[in-house]
Structure 1
Amino acid sequence: MLPAGLHGAAREAALRALIDDLLTGSDLKRPVLWHYSPMFRPATRGRACAAIVYDCMDELANFRFAPPELRIYEHELIAAADVMFTGGHSLYEAKRKLHHAIHAFPSAVDHVHFQTARSLAGRTGAETPRLGFYGVIDERLDLGLLDELARARPDWEIEIVGPLAKISPDDLPRRPNITYPGRQSYADLPKWLARWDVALMPFALNDSTRFISPTKTPEYLSGGCPVVSTAITDVMRTYGDLEGVRIAARDEFVDACDAALALRRRPSLAGATRPTP
């Protein structure tokens, strides 16, 4: 991890030093340079390698506070790459003409890890309904939608789990039935899933979410939790036909959560939430 506040040439020098330290004394004379972000390109430029890979997980240039030079570095990286992957189908469709060897590489899931939520002491259906989300809390979430959900159903508990990024704590909706437990370990995520009747994906529909393919979708489903999501393209395309996934417009979100709660109480839930292989 780089120290905070590094920019430009200082950041590139620090990245180069980290890569040099990693390769010093190793047998990797010609490594595969696998880039998850174009911002690494200045640190790998000119380095001997067996191949260059660009693994484009998101349209990072659309995220809040994206560095202005990111698009320049991405153009250079695409030109240098031997192969390119995208983190979802919509991102592939947006970039497929930019590289001769580009492949959609959508989210996978550690099913064994997340299915443990099904065997943990879970919900009986008799308690106060509890709904939850885990992930980074940033500009991609529709905070107004969360506030409306909590206001419309004050008898529901809503847990928003994860670290805050690029927004202020003052931006978060504050109601008695919303809690923010903060960052949790990956190992503990199934325990949180086991607490919930319904898993939420209340994403805003904006430039930063246009091409996202949330990994949490198959994770939630592996844990046996029905999902309610806003109309994210890759979620609709891959999971929209599952009974255990409800896609809802902003003004339909509360009703979709009601329907998911009713599904949760059905004995046949396991089949309804089984993720696509």
Structure 2
Amino acid sequence: MLDKETERKILDFVHQQPRSVQEIAQFIDSNWRTADAYIEKIAAETGQIGTRIFRGGTRGALKIVFWANIARLSSNEFQERMYRKIEIGRRKEDFSPLELYAYIPEDKRKAWKARSDKDNPGQHKNLTELLAQAREQVLIFTGNCSFINLVQNDKPMLELVKELVQRGVTIKVLSRVDMASIKNLQKMLEVNYALGEDAIEIRHAEQPLRGFVVDDKIVRLKEELDPSRYRAGELDGDAVLLYEFYDAAWVKWVQNVFWALYRTALSGQKRLEDLGSIQKL
């Protein structure tokens, strides 16, 4: 089983220069198959390394592991512009997913509008069904993890999260870790404690996206429209816009954005410990 120390050794080894799987296997004193499984797991869960096969389909095939270059996160100017906007954003108002949605092929996207009334299920349309599709990984962009309190079709979100972890799904979360979010975050992390797993990992980040990435298949992003930010009469009440898309290239791009933010974010557990050390006067 891959432990944190072995993961760190592999990452440090690859960071120095690209390595073959065989080199990594020898470095960690393991066999090729185990090393390859570790590499694929690290690549999927952290995005810090990638792999490429040379001379594929031949007896001389060679699998190389390389360090993921953040500078190549975006392949064109508008992706780079959007990433920079997300990178410097702090609140949900700082980026509209509509900017991204406009570039996705029409047959690989959909969107809908709902009232932002907390009692209106439309603003969380089929969220439990969406997350239940996960087989390997869920990436979450959130402000304070308030989604963990949802109940849809008599199914508490917290219960679904437990089921995902029990199925072997890893969950990575980017969220503010502050006094306002402590209760929600503790509910998430209690799943780890209850099941004896480290499947849920939270990191502290103030970022503008709100949404989910399920495996390599689908992205859902949410945008909230507040009439107070517009001229009188421009908006007919509060509203929520939900965007979903399935285009493989754009799903990958959103994953890359997640990992770029995640790599430099502070450990949520450490942040919670720091908050817990603050004494009342």
Sort the TM-score into its range (normalised by shorter chain): under 0.3
Larger helix share, 1 or 2: 2
Larger strand share, 1 or 2: 2
Higher relative contact order (CA 8 A, sep 6+): 2
The TM-score with structure 2 as length reference comes to: 0.26
The TM-score with structure 1 as length reference comes to: 0.27
